Amino acid sequence: MKTKNKIRVLIAKPGLDGHDKGAKIVALALRDAGMEVIYSGLHQTLDQIMQTATQEAVDVIGLSIMSGAHLPICEKLIGMMKEQGLTDVYLTVGGVIPHQDIPKLKEMGVAEVFPGGISFEGITTGMNKLFE
């Protein structure tokens, strides 16, 4: 594990879903908690997310997914991160994530899952823990 003074986070909205309230308010909350936050904007392909994450040299990618497609999206992105050597970046995911999917996501290699309803404090703590 690595320690960080200031965590750089990419909050990203993959795919076609446009419900961005969660992504935006989490971006604001992480920024207020002292992190550097980049917000991807809507309708991002996984290639675009990979590109932004690399260019901005982020420490964490935070995906916001509401459509129910979190399992296939995370699986694919993790594959791409491995393939393209983005192995020192943590992948986290938040949104409408049923409880029973959390172990599946973790097994896949998702570092943290932040399902809807979790507090900002819960998310910040979870992110910080990755670097302790």
Select 26 or 60, whichever has its Cβ closest to other proteins.
26
SS3 at position 1? coil
Select 24 or 129, whichever has its Cβ closest to other proteins.
24
Of 33, 78, 86, 102, the one binding other proteins by CB under 8 A: 102
Question: In the complex, what is the shortest distance from the CB of residue 68 to other proteins, in angstroms, rounded to a whole number?
Answer: 5
Q: Contact between 111 and other proteins (CB under 8 A)?
A: no
Candidates 33, 34, 90, 28; CA nearest to 62 is: 90
Q: Contact between 105 and other proteins (CB under 8 A)?
A: no
Give whole-number Cα distances, 99 to 49, 50, 59, 84, 117, in Å: 25, 27, 26, 30, 12
Select 15 or 62, whichever has its Cβ closest to other proteins.
15
Of 34, 41, 79, 103, the one binding other proteins by CB under 8 A: 41
Candidates 52-60, 66-74, 82-90, 103-111 — which segment interacts with other proteins by CB under 8 A?
66-74
Give whole-number Cα distances, 21 to 58, 70, 98, 100, in Å: 22, 17, 19, 24
Select 87 or 123, whichever has its Cβ closest to other proteins.
123
CB-based burial of residue 60 (10 Å sphere; 0-12 exposed, 13-18 middle, 19+ buried)? Answer: buried
